[in-house]
Amino acid sequence: PEQGLLGLRSGLGLYANLRPVRPWPALYDASPLRRERIEGTDLLVVRELTGGLYFGERGREPERAFDTCVYTVGEVRRLAEWGFRAAAGRRGRVTSVDKANVLETSRLWREVVSAMAPEHPDVELEHMLVDNAAMQLVSRPADFDVIVTENLFGDVLSDEAAMITGSIGMLPSASLGTGALGMYEPVHGSAPDIAGRGVANPIATVLSAAM
State how far the Cα of 109 lies from the Cα of 89, in Å rounded to an integer. Answer: 23
Confidence of residue 7 (pLDDT cuts 50, 70, 90): confident
Q: Measured between alpha carbons, how far is 95 from 90 in angstroms, rounded to an integer?
A: 13
Q: What's the predicted TM-score (pTM) here?
A: 0.92
Rounded alpha-carbon distances, angstroms, from residue 20 to 1, 65, 163: 24, 35, 12
The answer to whether 71 is a known catalytic residue is no
Q: Which among 15, 28, 71, 99 is annotated as catalytic? A: 99
H/E element holding 20?
strand 16-21
Q: Which of these is catalytic: 15, 28, 54, 71?
A: 54
Task: Please give the pLDDT value at position 165.
Answer: 85
Examine the residue annotation and report whether 159 is marked as an active-site residue of this protein: yes
Contact 84, 94 (CB under 8 A): yes
* Active-site annotation holds for 155: yes
Catalytic residue among 15, 98, 145, 155: 155
Q: What is the pLDDT of residue 28?
A: 86
The confidence score (pLDDT) of residue 9 equals: 82
Q: Kindly report, residue by residue over 36-51, the tens digit of the pLDDT.
A: 999 999 999 999 999 9
Q: What is the mean pLDDT of residues 161-190?
A: 85
Residue 98: active-site member: no
CB contact burial 48-77 (16+ within 10 A = b; e otherwise) = bbbbbbbbeeeeeeeeeeeeebebeeebbe
